[in-house]
Amino acid sequence: MTLQELKREFVRLYGGDESDVRLFMSPGRVNLIGEHTDYNGGYVFPAALTMGTTIAVRQIPERVIRLRATDLPDFVEADIDNLDNYRDIKWGNYQIGVAVELQKRGYEILGCEMLFYGNLPYGGGLSSSASIEVATALALATFSNEKKGVTEPVNMIEMAQVGQGAECNYCGVNCGIMDQFASAMGKKNQVIFLNCKNLDFKLVPLEMDGYKIVIANTNKKRSLADSKYNERRAQCEEGLKALRRALPEAECLGDISMEQFIEHKALIEDEIIRNRVEHVISEDNRVLLSIEALNSGNVVEFGRLMNGSGDSLRDLYEVTGVELDTLVEEARKIDGTIGSRMTGAGFGGCTVSIVREDAVDEFIEKVGRAYEEKIGYAASFYVDNVGDGGHEIK
């Protein structure tokens, strides 16, 4: 759908004309390395995509938020003075959760009509939800600032926190900050090296001449993913608690080095918990090594570290499954793939691979065929570019 078509559809659904309709966009993300480290105060290395969520929106005098999407029959009308009442709506709760979080931070929520258009696979592990949250937060905060006469641009790190807050406090997924941060703060052709403990970040130019990022979607329905995600988080907290008996100054697993873990790991009696913690601490190390590899132009070493991350997520963190494993195994068989791993929370969703440009067609054909033969339905492939974070389209 083009932006013009989106505006036309807006007018068809809500009436009026296009003159007061504005557009806000925020992208999905792909994480190159650093998985399940964000909520442990560790490092991540995600990039914003060009695919994402675009909202057409108009301010209205009534004290309600109206929500529709281009591809759903749902219609939500939420009373701005009672936003806590909409927790149980299925579609629309990310947006209302965002409005609640903004209210908590002193933003004034003003009446509006919104139409959502997304071109990310929904629930596919590319952070479609974060892109909805950040785009919504940016639109609502922009209106609030304009009314108050605030002239500085909207604080996008705060918008990431608002999105994360909506997900955790309103939607029941205890997620970290990575997805919303990447959606809010991404920059074209740059990858975000983010310290999730203090939100310090650096933009690293994506210089992979001759290589492409290829995303493969398992198209697996993500059942129970949220509860397993919250379970992993609780296991990390249990592991931290045990290690803190020897390392009381550690506030999170991100504060603990590999050497310290090896020295004290016997304090974690449960083998599963020990494995979870080993993944997190070794993964943090791999992110640091990855940055070094990319800084010295060593893409092959970067790919090797991605493979190490993927294996650790499969064997120690146990968040893959036959669908993701098949995509990764088949990807690594292609001459021209230098690294392949699952990306995002896992339990379905997508893989990310670095593939030599001239091998991309063969990759998609062969991996796609092998996947369908083994799993019984098709995977989808995306060769997207790295795009900008949340912004108003003027």
Q: How far is the CB of 178 from ligand GLA (least distance, A)?
A: 4
**Interatomic CA distance for residues 27 and 5, integer angstroms:** 19
Q: Which residue lies nearer to ligand GLA by CB, 37 or 54?
A: 37
By CB under 6 A, is residue 38 in contact with ligand GLA? Answer: yes
CA 4 vs CA 9, 54, 56, 66: distances in Å? 9, 12, 10, 21
Q: What mask, x for binding ligand GLA by CB under 6 A, covers residues 62 to 101?
A: ----------------------------------------
Q: Which residue lies nearer to ligand GLA by CB, 136 or 142?
A: 136
Which of 101, 133, 179, 330 binds ligand GLA (CB under 6 A)? It is 179
Tell me which stretch binds ligand GLA (CB under 6 A): 63-71, 133-141, 175-183, 284-292. Answer: 175-183
Torsion of CA 341, 378, 47, 132, to 10 degrees: -130
User: How many residues contact ligand GLA, by CB under 6 A?
Assistant: 10
Which of 6, 10, 26, 35 binds ligand GLA (CB under 6 A)? It is 35
**Interatomic CA distance for residues 394 and 374, integer angstroms:** 46
Q: Which of 179, 255, 284, 384 is catalytic?
A: 179
Name residue 217's amino acid. Answer: N
Q: What mask, x for binding ligand GLA by CB under 6 A, covers residues 138 to 157?
A: --------------------
Tell me which stretch binds ligand GLA (CB under 6 A): 15-23, 34-42, 151-159, 355-363. Answer: 34-42
By CB under 6 A, is residue 36 in contact with ligand GLA? Answer: yes
Contact 364, 376 (CB under 8 A): no
**Interatomic CA distance for residues 37 and 56, integer angstroms:** 34
Q: How far is the CB of 44 from ligand GLA (least distance, A)?
A: 7
Which of 24, 39, 117, 302 binds ligand GLA (CB under 6 A)? It is 39
Torsion of CA 202, 215, 174, 197, to 10 degrees: -20
Tell me which stretch binds ligand GLA (CB under 6 A): 114-122, 176-184, 236-244, 298-306. Answer: 176-184
- H or E stretch at 186: none
Q: Is 29 helix (H, G, I), strand (E, B) or coil?
A: strand
Q: What mask, x for binding ligand GLA by CB under 6 A, covers residues 247 to 276?
A: ------------------------------
Q: What mask, x for binding ligand GLA by CB under 6 A, covers residues 328 to 347?
A: ----------------xx--
Burial 310-343 (b: 16+ CB within 10 A, else e): bebbbebbbbbbebbbbbbebbbebebbbbbbbb
**Interatomic CA distance for residues 54 and 61, integer angstroms:** 23
- DSSP letters for 241-267: HHHTTT-TT--SGGG--HHHHHHHGGG
For the question of residue 179 being annotated catalytic, the response is yes
Name residue 377's amino acid. Answer: Y
Can you give the binding site for ligand GLA, defined by CB under 6 A? Answer: 35-36, 38-39, 175-176, 178-179, 344-345
Residues with a known catalytic role: 179
